[in-house]
Copies of this chain bind each other. A is one copy, B any other.
Amino acid sequence: MKKIINDPNKFVDEYLEGLLLAHRDSLKNVTDDNRALVRADAPVKGKVGIVTGGGSGHLPVFLGYVGKGLADGVAVGNVFSSPPAKPMYEATKAVNAGKGVLYLYGNYAGDRLNFETAEEMAEADGIEVEQVLVSDDVASAPKTQKGNRRGIAGLFFAYKIAGACADEMSSLAEVKAATELALSNIRTMGVGLSPCTVPAAGKPNFTIGEQEMEIGMGIHGEPGIHRGLIQPADKIVATLLDRILTDLPFQGGDEVAVLVNSLGATPLEELYIMYRAAYRLLEKFGITIYRSYIGKYATSLEMAGASITLLRLDSKLKRWLDAPAESPFFSQCAPKHGS
C-alpha cells in the first residue's frame, strides 16, 4: 500500500503536528512531544474530566473525540501500540478540575497496564480516578468471558454518553455509572476485507485472499471467527447482526442507535448499502432505530472493511446521545428529538 508520508518513523509525530496546527482552537498539547493532548479549554470548571488513549492509526479514535460533550484529554501511542503511563498521567492532571477523572479506553492489555500505573500516579497527587473499559467486540471472546473482549467502534458511543453525562456536571460516580450503563447496552462486530500497513513496518499486517473476507476481525487485524469467500452485503450484515442481537440479547420493542463504521478504505456508499440491510433486518425483528451514525468512526489506517454497532437505548441514554457535542472529528449541533 502506497502512502503519502515522509519518514515512516516520523509518521506519528508528523500527523500529530499537522493535527495540532489544524485544530489549535480546540486542542492543546500538555507535553512537548504532543503525546498528551487536551481540550483547549481544559480543565472545565465543575466538570468530571474524561481521559482516553491508545495507539495511533485509528483516527478519529482516540484523539478525534477530544472535545465538547466527549472526552477531555488523550494519551497518544505509536501506531497500534499503547501510550506509556506518563502522557496518560499528564493528560489527567491537565483535565482535572477537582471533581475527579474517568479513564475511558479500549480493553487491550498494554493500555490497561499503563492506565493502571497512571491512576496510581494521579492518586498520589490526590486526583480521584475511576476506570471504565470498552469491550464491545462480540467476536473477540464468548459472552462468558466478557473481560477478554476488545474495544472497537463502540468507543464512539461510550465517549458520547460519558461526555454528555459529565457535561451535566454529574459526579464521577454518576459519569462512571452512565458509561457502564451505555457499555452494558453496546455490541459491535466487524468484517475485514484487506490488511493495512503500519508505516514503520512497511508491509501488510496480514494476508487475505483476493476473494476472501474475515468476519469478526479486530481493528489491528486480530483474527476473527470465520474466514471465507466474500458474501453479498445483505448476507454479511445478517451474519454480524445475528451475533450482535443474540449476545445482549436485543429484543422486539427495543430502540437502538446504529453505527455503521468504515475501517478505512470502505466508502460511504457501501456503508449505506449495509445500513439498508441492517434497517430492514431490525425492522423485521421489531427493533426501532432512534438515531444512526454512518462513516469513519474507528479505523485501521487504510484497511477495507466495516463494523456495525448497536446501542440499546432508554430515556437517559437517549438524552445523552442527543446532547450536543463538538470535536475536530465529530459535530452534533443540537438535539434531534424534542427540546
Residues in A lying within 8 Å of B, measured CB to CB = 1-7, 11, 14-19, 21-22, 25, 56-57, 59-60, 64, 191, 193-194, 210-211, 213, 230, 232-234, 236, 264-277, 279, 292, 294-296, 299, 301-302, 304, 306, 324, 326, 329, 331-334, 336
Q: Is the CB of B301 within 8 A of A269?
A: yes
A324 and B236 CA atoms in complex are apart in Å by: 38
Q: Is the CB of B2 within 8 A of A273?
A: no
A211 and B274 CA atoms in complex are apart in Å by: 33
| Contact status of A11 and B269, CB under 8 A, knowing A2-B230, A336-B25 | yes
Most chain B Cβ neighbours within 10 Å, of A191, A302, A329, A333? A302
Most chain B Cβ neighbours within 10 Å, of A194, A273, A332? A273
Q: Is the CB of A279 within 8 A of B2?
A: no
| Contact status of A269 and B22, CB under 8 A, knowing A211-B2, A276-B14, A331-B332 | no
User: Within 8 Å CB of A334, what residues of B?
Assistant: 333
Q: Which residue of B lies closest to A333 (CB)?
A: B333
- Shortest C-beta distance, A184 to chain B (Å), equals 25
Q: Is the CB of B2 within 8 A of A193?
A: yes
- Shortest C-beta distance, A236 to chain B (Å), equals 6
Q: Is the CB of A14 within 8 A of B273?
A: yes
Q: Is the CB of A272 within 8 A of B15?
A: yes
- Shortest C-beta distance, A233 to chain B (Å), equals 5
Q: Which residue of B lies closest to A79 (CB)?
A: B269
- Shortest C-beta distance, A228 to chain B (Å), equals 12
Q: Is the CB of A296 within 8 A of B294?
A: no
Q: Is the CB of B4 within 8 A of A268?
A: no
Q: Which residue of B lies closest to A208 (CB)?
A: B2
A233 and B304 CA atoms in complex are apart in Å by: 22
Q: Which residue of B lies closest to A22 (CB)?
A: B292
User: Within 8 Å CB of A56, what residues of B?
Assistant: 269
